[in-house]
Amino acid sequence: MEPNGEEDEEGVPKVGRKGDEEEPALGIAVVGLQILRGAHPKIMHGIHGCIHFSSRSFNTHLHWTTVKIMDLLHGIGVDLVLYLQANYRNYESVFHLASSLADLHTPIFIFFPVWFHLHQKVGINLIWVAVVGDWLNLVFKWVLFGERPYWWVHETQFYGSAPPPVLQQFPITCETGPGSPSGHAMGLAGVWHVMVTAVLAANTERTHSALFSWVVRLGLWMVLAIVILLVCMSRVYVAAHFPHQVITGVIAGMIVAEVFNRVQWIYSASLKKYLYVTLFLLTFALGFYVLLKALGVDLLWTLDKAKRWCIRPEWVHMDTTPFASLMRNMGTLFGLGLGLHSPLCEQKKEIKSASFRLGCIIFSLLLLQLLDTVSLPSKSNILFYLLSFCKSAAAPFITAALVPGCLSVLFLSKNVQRNL
């Protein structure tokens, strides 16, 4: 078989091709056929050009197909944002409350003090799921480069020459990190999964009828589903996330919670192990950042977009940057280890009364609310990140060591006076 000598516009011989829509599989079949027939070198050169053209066309087509799929997902997401903002305006306060409850601040400053003094293992598990889940969320965001609706509508070519949709913004809209997966949805799904499974486990330990246990189980999972739905709707309503980002966040959060439900070493981990895990998570994230930076990837690309397209500069907060999240997580985990292995925490083991537990819960919540009122200076990034670490470390230490240690002294002194 001899080549016909004709070449297309790119200068590639036409042997083994059928026009511009050639499929890669057909090019591979032609190669095998010519090898079996002992093809002439010129023919092999022509086939090589055909394969190169087909591979290049396929890769280009795949790239544009991926872009079109993501644009379509984003376009559908923007339509849903517009629909929610137009038809659920009366529920705006509910959505804002749901977003606030889904923030990592809530499990650390509210849920952890309650659960730690009711059932210490559940409180410990809750912190690990919240911290590791948020750390994984940070890594995923660095890899997936997720857009956010409030800036995407201004920069996309999806709408052509038509004016972009006008999305309403709120004080909690202008998140500065990448959007995929949703950290609020991921954190809430993981933390609430821990709490629901803890209640279900306590329910199975009691003697109840099968019907009662089934009703409790169904009711709790329905509550979890409703809470997750509200949070997902709230994140879409405020134009901070696209629908597919909150869905992937929920799935990822559930997986993290299920994994830690099967991990037992966290309940007996030494202070040294807490320190090692904290350093590992910190150095891994920083090393990954440096590696991507060396490869030419700008991981702070979203900060410029947030500053450019947020309608009010004061809504762009430093505490939503990826490094602020990282330092909060590391501080929380280290503070938990420090509190659990403090001599103050050991004293509470001598007291089993319900009034002592209730007092620990109340005073922990009060002190953490006072701690939460402390605002951090944001003029210096390094100082802000350092103080974020310290503030986050103080929260679990207050709950696990300071409050029970101080109250145990009061309770034990009262018992001594009674015995006298």
Predicted pLDDT at 349: 67
Residues 6+ apart with CB under 8 A from 68: none
| Among candidate residues 234, 77, 78, the one with its CA nearest the CA of residue 166 | 78
- In percent, how much of the chain has pLDDT > 70? 80
Segment 244-267, tens digit of pLDDT: 999 999 999 999 999 999 999 999
Mean pLDDT comparison of 29-43, 216-230, 304-318, 367-381, highest-scoring range: 216-230
Render 14-64 in DSSP notation, one character per residue.
Answer: -TT-BTBT--HHHHHHHHHHHHHTT--HHHHHHHHHHHHHHHHHHHHHHHH
pLDDT at 378 > cutoff 80 = no
Q: Are 345 and 339 in contact (CB under 8 A)?
A: yes
Amino acid identity of 124?
I
Predicted pLDDT at 299: 80
Cα dist. 76→99, 148, 165, 177, 244 in Å?
22, 13, 12, 22, 10
pLDDT-wise least confident of 76-80, 105-109, 205-209? 205-209
| Among candidate residues 246, 76, 247, the one with its CA nearest the CA of residue 158 | 76
Q: Are 99 and 172 in contact (CB under 8 A)?
A: yes
Q: What is the CA radius of gyration of the chain?
A: 28
- In percent, how much of the chain has pLDDT > 90? 58
Structure tokens at 278: 């904290």
pLDDT at 357 > cutoff 70 = yes
Amino acid identity of 76?
I
pLDDT at 280 > cutoff 70 = yes
Give the CA count within 13 Å in the CB-facing half-sphere of 341. 16
Q: What is the mean pLDDT of residues 171-194?
A: 94
Q: Alpha-carbon distance 116 to 121, whole Å?
A: 7
Predicted confidence band of residue 161 (pLDDT cuts 50, 70, 90): confident
Predicted pLDDT at 67: 67
Q: Alpha-carbon distance 282 to 157, whole Å?
A: 38
Q: Alpha-carbon distance 34 to 36, whole Å?
A: 5
Predicted pLDDT at 391: 95
Predicted pLDDT at 16: 44
Q: Alpha-carbon distance 363 to 344, whole Å?
A: 15
pLDDT at 124 > cutoff 70 = yes
pLDDT-wise least confident of 58-72, 133-147, 320-334, 394-408? 58-72
pLDDT at 10 > cutoff 80 = no
| Among candidate residues 166, 168, 173, the one with its CA nearest the CA of residue 99 | 173
pLDDT-wise least confident of 134-138, 231-235, 335-339, 409-413? 409-413
| Among candidate residues 166, 215, 30, 188, the one with its CA nearest the CA of residue 102 | 188
Segment 72-84, tens digit of pLDDT: 899 999 999 999 9
pLDDT at 30 > cutoff 50 = no
Structure tokens at 251: 């799935």
294 vs 412: which has the higher pLDDT: 294
Q: Are 81 and 237 in contact (CB under 8 A)?
A: yes
Q: Are 236 and 80 in contact (CB under 8 A)?
A: yes
Mean pLDDT comparison of 35-39, 398-402, 404-408, highest-scoring range: 398-402
* SS3 per-residue string spanning 318-355: HHHCHHHHHHHHHHHHHHHHHHHCCHHHHHHHHCCCHH
Please list the residues that pair with 20 across neighbouring strands.
18
Predicted pLDDT at 58: 43
| Among candidate residues 143, 104, 146, 149, the one with its CA nearest the CA of residue 127 | 104
Please list the residues that pair with 18 across neighbouring strands.
20
pTM for the structure as a whole: 0.81
Enumerate the active-site residues.
184, 241
